Amino acid sequence: MNDETKKKINARYERELNKGERFWPDSIFKDLIVSLGIFVLLVLLATFIGVSPEPKADPSDTSYIPRPEWYFLFIFKFLAIYGQIPVLGKIEWIATVLIPGIAVGILTLVPFIEKRPDRHYGKRILPISIMIIMVVGAVLLTMTSEVPTVSADGSKFLGYLQSISGLIIPTVAMTALILMSFVFKGTSTRTMIWTTVLASVSMILVSGVVLALHPRSVVEETEVATTLVDQITAGQDLYSIHCTECHGDDGSVAVIEGVEGLEGEEITPINSKDVLYTITDSAMYEVIAYGRPNAGMTPFGKAYGGELSKSEIDYMTIFMRYMWDDRFEAPEIKPLFPALADGEVPSYDVHIQPVAKRYCVSCHRAGKENNNYLMTSYEEILTTGDNAEKNIIKGDESSYLLQVIQEHAIMDPENPEEELIGVMPPSKALKPDVVDVFVRWIMNGMPQTAEEAAALFVLPTPEATAAP
Amino acid sequence: MWKKVYEWLDERLGLNDMYTNLLDRPEPTGNWWNTLGSASLFLFVMQGLTGIFLTVYYTPSPDHAYDSVQYIMEGVAFGWLIRGIHHWGATLMVLVVFIHMLRVFFTASFKYPRELTWLIGIGLLLMTLGMGFTGYLLPWNQRAFWATTVGTQIAGSVPFVGEFILKALRGGPDLSALTLQRFFSAHIWMLPALLAGLIGIHLYLIIKHGESHFPSKED
Ligand code: HEM
């Protein structure tokens, strides 16, 4: 740039300054308003959306699908799309290093690449067009980042569509724009603008099709307990499901009963000081994750073929500490379900589900001996089991389920000497309030949601409410 | 009384000079898009303040990081607010800095005499992304752990020196306590110090050359 142009630019700027404003207060005023707006926005986001809880890092859980911060998603997507290109796609560093490197390099050198002093948009169609296509591309890559390039059924169709919108259209459009500016110099600005608009719109359309065709996958959320009380409750549920058959629901079992292969095995009660005082938290993690294979306790940690994550094992340890270890003071624990008022009907969501999880699911889930009766969802409770049609009969006290939880075993009709179904749960009778929940639920038609249950509320008769 | 104090201070600090040189400057008629730079600065300051509060309870070790963050959310008064602002501030800062760059690009404000401002700006953009990358690991949750595993793997794919970069980032072949310590140090000392220094130069250059005017047909 020669001195004359520089002088012209400076003189032009001088003229703008003369008819302009003052930094203080005019500009600062606008800055303050925007900053204040951002501050309010931050407080609102922090209050109403917050930070979504995540389970603790678990280096052994390699099944976890990594998701980077959202502003790096487009790079991930770009890598995936690039990997589809034959031959070149196999050379990873071209996509991970070379292309991003060139992009950042060009961005850095923009002032030295675009040296002409022109500043008006009309004279900068090429750089502006390229930037628009790049930004539209990055935004679309971010939006489609959830869509895999190979669908679950092995089809690569969506992957090809993504290469079209994320790689082919932008490359073709940018090449065309560069050719128009440097080779076919006669091209009108109109044509260049239309090329950009056309490229952007078709990229948006193709990505729209990709998003529309992509089956919404339900993201499997691991439950994250954040407060101590929630962690203890989560730990107790997990303990009830996985450990009670050998250690009993309060950890007091000293001789294992009713477990195949371990019948009569003498063990140290795990709620004793012997165990709790000698095993530290991290050793406890190891015991549960790795099990005691020699003694007959199977591994539970994902790293060793079990099904529990690090967080889940931590919750169990927290539960054992706060409920059994006298060095810890337990906080007030929420009752398993809200107490029922006179005439109130329990629902599956609020009452049955937590009760079943605590007392029944340890045996009544897939892979256990249970007459094929599964209790992990509303449908399962009502429809599974070898005696499904007799287990739960609306309004009938003689439903098998109600009989067995009230300590009446069901005898086999064909062979009255034999038990068809033993008492449930086999080891220890349920407390009366839990039995009451099951009875009221079945007698009143097994409502699923709290609303359905509320509609069934039977008003207590006047005598019952009359004060004594 | 106040006047006397002011005059005394002015004599030693040169408050009046500061006022005329820094604040009472002429500017071309402004535009709302021009507030994005100061918005980036505001977010940087907010991140600094909330970040300092977070370090009071945060512990950078694999055994305690997760629990200390949990404690900030549940146990510390207004801890959730501080962390929430820091979390969303990070997202917003990347967004605002990026849009600020786009506006500078579209108005061609990087041209003579502001080329250096742009170069420093690219440094700021990369540092901001670096802050996001290093900060993401600190809560030591599943998301953090695996995103960083993959992120550092990408750095490891550089030909010839990849292996070295990977080990330098992770402090060993795998993600470990060393990685967390390193990322923590980068996140609270190295990158913010660099950012602050670069922002200082950026602002000096802006005052020196003045805000560019909005381009019209003439330019
Ligand atoms: C931490 C990040 C950043 C901060 C705190 C920051 C701060 C500022 C401030 C306060 C201004 C003056 C007001 C305005 O024009 O908006 C400004 C202008 C400017 N910034 Fe930044 N900036 C940042 C990042 C960037 C980036 C990423 C670039 C581009 C690569 C950039 C390039 C420029 C240029 C060229 C100007 C002069 C604009 C003009 O005179 O019209 N800055 N910046």
Number of folded domains that form chain A: 4
Average pLDDT of the residues in B58-68: 92
B219 within some domain: no
Structural domain includes residue A267: yes
pLDDT at A468: 41
CB A315 within 8 A of CB A234: yes
* Percent of residues, chain A, with pLDDT higher than 70: 96
Contacts for B169 with CB less than 8 Å, ≥ 6 apart: B152, B155, B179, B182
Answer left, alpha or beta for residue A251, where phi above 0 means left and psi between -120 and 50 means alpha.
left
B27: nearest CB among A21, A54, A64: A21
Residue A59 or residue A383, greater confidence = A383
Residue B118: CB within 6 Å of ligand 1? yes
Any domain includes A58 = no
CA of A16 to the centre of ligand 1 (A): 20
Dihedral, A218, A223, A224, A228 alpha carbons, nearest 10: 160
ipTM summary value: 0.92
Distance of residue A32 Cα from the nearest chain B Cα, in angstroms: 9
- The model's pLDDT over B126-161, given as tens digits with 9 standing for 90+, comes to 999 999 999 999 999 988 999 999 889 888 888 888
User: Could you read off the pLDDT of B160-202 as tens digits, one per residue?
Assistant: 888 899 999 999 888 999 999 999 999 999 999 999 999 999 9
- Regarding the beta carbon of B61 and ligand 1, being less than 6 Å apart is answered no
Q: Which two tokens stand for residue A122?
A: 């009309």
> Is B124 a pocket residue for ligand 1 (Cβ < 6 Å)?
yes
Phi, psi of B76 (to 5 degrees): -85, 135
Question: Across residues A314-321, what is the average pLDDT?
Answer: 90
Q: What are phi and psi of B110, to 5 degrees?
A: -85, 0
**CATH classification at residue B110:** 1.20.810.10
Q: Determine the pLDDT at residue A466.
A: 43
Side chain identity at residue A438, one-letter code: F
The shortest C-alpha distance from B211 to chain A (Å) reads 9
pLDDT digits (tens, 9 = 90+) for A239-272: 988 888 888 888 888 888 877 788 888 888 998 8
Model confidence pLDDT, tens digit, residues A187-243: 788 899 999 999 999 999 999 999 888 876 555 555 677 778 888 888 888 898 888
Q: Which of B40, B94, B203, B204 to mutate to test the pocket of ligand 1 (most atoms within 8 A of CB)?
A: B40
Q: Are residues A280 and A363 in the same domain?
A: no
For residue B197, give the H/E element and its range: helix B191-209
Please report which confidence band the pLDDT of residue A461 belongs to, taking 50, 70 and 90 as the band edges: low
Q: How far apart are CA A397 and CA A434, in angstroms?
A: 16
Per-window interface: B 92-121 vs A, CB < 8 A: 92, 94-96, 98, 102, 105-115, 118-119
Q: What is the pLDDT of residue A184?
A: 83
* Ligand 1: residue whose CA is nearest its atom 24: B121
Residue A61 within any structural domain of the chain: no
CA of A122 to the centre of ligand 1 (A): 23
Q: Which domain holds residue B76?
A: 34-136+187-209
The single-letter DSSP state of residue A447 is: -
The residue among A185 and B85 whose pLDDT is bigger is B85
Please give the average per-residue pLDDT across A356-369, as a whole number: 83
Q: Are residues A13 and A120 in the same domain?
A: no
Phi then psi for A344, rounded to 5 degrees? -75, 145
pLDDT of residue A462: 52
CATH code at position A286: 1.10.760.10
Q: How many CB atoms lie within 10 A of CB A195?
A: 20
Residue A459, pLDDT > 80, answer no
pLDDT at A86: 82
Question: According to the model, what pLDDT value does residue B56 have?
Answer: 95
Q: Is residue B85 part of a domain?
A: yes
pLDDT of residue A159: 87
| Percentage of chain B modeled with pLDDT above 70 | 100
> Hey, are the CB atoms on A39 and B141 less than 8 Å from each other?
no
Name which of A68, A64, A100 is nearest A82 in CA terms. A100
- Which residue in the set A21, A68, A112 is minimally distant from B151, CB to CB? A68
Q: Is B187 in the pocket of ligand 1 (CB under 6 A)?
A: no
The tokens describing A192, both together, are 């260049």
Which chain B residue shows the shortest CA-CA distance from A42? B85
Which positions in chain A touch B139 (Cβ < 8 Å)? Answer: 54
A381 and A271 housed in the same domain: no
If pLDDT is split at 50, 70 and 90, which confidence band does A283 have? confident
Under 8 Å between Cβ of B70 and A315: no
More confident residue, B137 or A296: B137
Exposure on the CB side of residue A312, measured as CA atoms within 13 A = 18
Place of tokens 């002093």: A117
How much is the pLDDT for A182? 87
Partnered with residue A403 across adjacent β-strands are: none
Q: Assess B165–A contact: CB distance below 8 Å, yes or no.
A: no
* Domain around A5: 1-51
Mean pLDDT over residues A53-61, rounded? Answer: 83
* B199 falls within a domain: yes
Atom of ligand 1 nearest to the CA of B98: 27
B158 within some domain: no
* B218 part of contact set with chain A, CB < 8 Å: yes
Residue A111 covered by a domain: yes
Q: Which helix (H) or strand (E) holds A452?
A: helix A450-455
pLDDT digits (tens, 9 = 90+) for A395-450: 888 888 888 898 888 888 888 788 888 888 877 778 888 899 999 999 888 999 88
Whether B91 has a pLDDT exceeding 50, the answer reads yes
A80 φ/ψ sector (left φ>0, alpha ψ -120 to 50, else beta): alpha
Q: At A360, is the pLDDT very low, low, confident or very high (cuts 50, 70, 90)?
A: confident
Q: Which residue type does A434 have?
A: V
Cα distances (Å, whole numbers) of residue A232 to A114, A332, A430: 63, 10, 21
pTM greater than 0.90? no
Q: How many domains does chain B have?
A: 1
Q: What is the pLDDT of residue A464?
A: 46
Is B87 or A294 the better-scoring residue by pLDDT?
B87
The residue behind tokens 């820094």 is B22
- In this structure, what is the dihedral angle of CA atoms B122, B126, B131, B136, given to the nearest 10 degrees? 140
Please say whether the beta carbons of A305 and A293 come within 8 A.
no
